[in-house]
A = this chain, B = another copy of it.
Amino acid sequence: MSASVSFTTQAQFARIATPGQPFAFDSGSVMDDLTLAYETYGTLNARKNNAILLFHALSGTQHAAGYCESVPGTSQRWTDDCKHGWWDLFIGPGKALDTDKFFIICANYLGGCYGTSGPTSINPATGNPYGPDFPQVTSADVVRSQVRLLDQLGINKLHAVLGNSIGGLLTLNLATMFPERVHLVISCASGLRTTVLSRLTVFEQVLAIENDPHFQGGNYDESKAPELGLALARMISHKTFVHLDAIERRARGEVQQRNNALGWYQLSHNVESYMLHQGRKFVKRFDANTYLRICNLWLRYDPLRAAGVETTEQLFAISAAAGHKWLVFSIDSDFCFYPEEQAELVRALETSQVPVMHITTHSDKGHDSFLLEPELYTPHLAYTLMQADASLPPIEEREEATEFGM
């Protein structure tokens, strides 16, 4: 994967809240000094109508493509795992998101720990990190903060908004909170609500972190963070990202960890060792308070409230009225966002007569397929991004195939 990285990138910073333009969180908190860390790839054209906003997944960063050696202020967390863009296989010249044609923007979510303002940022009032005092963040807050970034970049209307996994939940927010700001909406391996299973899995992760002896209500010191709790949270989620067969395959190559790695438990199997390794790797690059904010965002996801409507029909009527086109991807082996969830999203779009194309990819990689198998997504992504303005005849005029077609 790293061999394909063809360019280097650098984080940029946008101050999206100032004393003159404070930012009001859904929680009621107001802050007047907030920064988003973001990256861009490609060139914004003169009409500023070739921009694609990309939302990252749960623990993602603004660094979607290329190679980035470091990001100011995140030195201890910018591990080797972070240096190669997480969607590098999809972004670049001639790739699915073609940087010769499009201007792609990806920003670290508000509350993040990769240069965007969040719990690890210094609170000027105390000189210490905000920690638990940083406000909770909703998906609507994240979208509003990124629309401020679009304003600063002079982009009135996105060619497309695109999100994978929980990033897909944010695309729905943007499309229905700011319908006039986007043309194409692309949601991959995502859905339209927080299912019971997701809620339970995320809730477990919250408790795993908050019950760590080092958590201390979020007032932990960086040097004594709730590492095992955060590692356990990652393990709980990791098993929903990776196909179980793949976990078993990967675990075979795993060196058994020393038994004292976990304090009490005597490891009994290389699958346990593999998962523990995943957990510990994550702890090095992530902050527990930030993770809790992303969990909270997911648990309290409410696109109806964010768009100021009462029903799903009203929600998608907004998208219909704005003339959006949607592209929805399912992965048949996904058990983080199950295919039923995308089917539900597509049914809702169709009920509101929003044009939608729904593609299921067949993969043995589970949810992670959207990171690993560009060949399964690139044709439809590239086609849809390029054809969005070309007018095919309406579908009802294409119901009858010519006699010679079969």
Contact = CB atoms under 8 A, between A and B. Distances in A.
B204 A235 contact: yes
Interface in A238-282: 239, 244-245, 247-248, 262-265, 268-269, 271-272, 275
Nearest to A302: B268
Contact of A263 (B210, B262, B263): B210
A264 B218 contact: yes
A196 B247 CA distance: 8
B213 A211 contact: yes
Contact of A212 (B206, B211, B268): B211
Contacts of A300: 268
Interface string A192-213: 0001110111011011101111
A215 to B, nearest CB: 7
Q: How many copies does the complex hold?
A: 2
Nearest to A264: B210
Contacts of A268: 296, 299-300
Contacts of A303: none
Given A271-B196, A300-B268, A232 B208 contact: yes
Interface string A208-229: 1011110101100000000011
A311 B197 CA distance: 37
Contacts of A229: 211
A31 interface: no
A347 to B, nearest CB: 18
A236 interface: yes
A272 B296 CA distance: 12
A208 B217 CA distance: 17
Contacts of A239: 197, 200-201
Contacts of A265: 206-207, 210
A196 B239 CA distance: 10
A232 B208 CA distance: 8
A26 to B, nearest CB: 12
A269 B199 contact: yes
Contacts of A211: 208, 211-213, 228-229, 232, 263
15 contacts: A196-B245, A200-B247, A200-B275, A204-B235, A207-B232, A207-B265, A208-B208, A208-B232, A210-B263, A210-B265, A211-B228, A211-B232, A213-B213, A215-B264, A236-B236
Interface of A: 132, 195-197, 199-201, 203-204, 206-208, 210-213, 215, 217-218, 228-229, 232, 235-236, 239, 244-245, 247-248, 262-265, 268-269, 271-272, 275, 296, 299-300
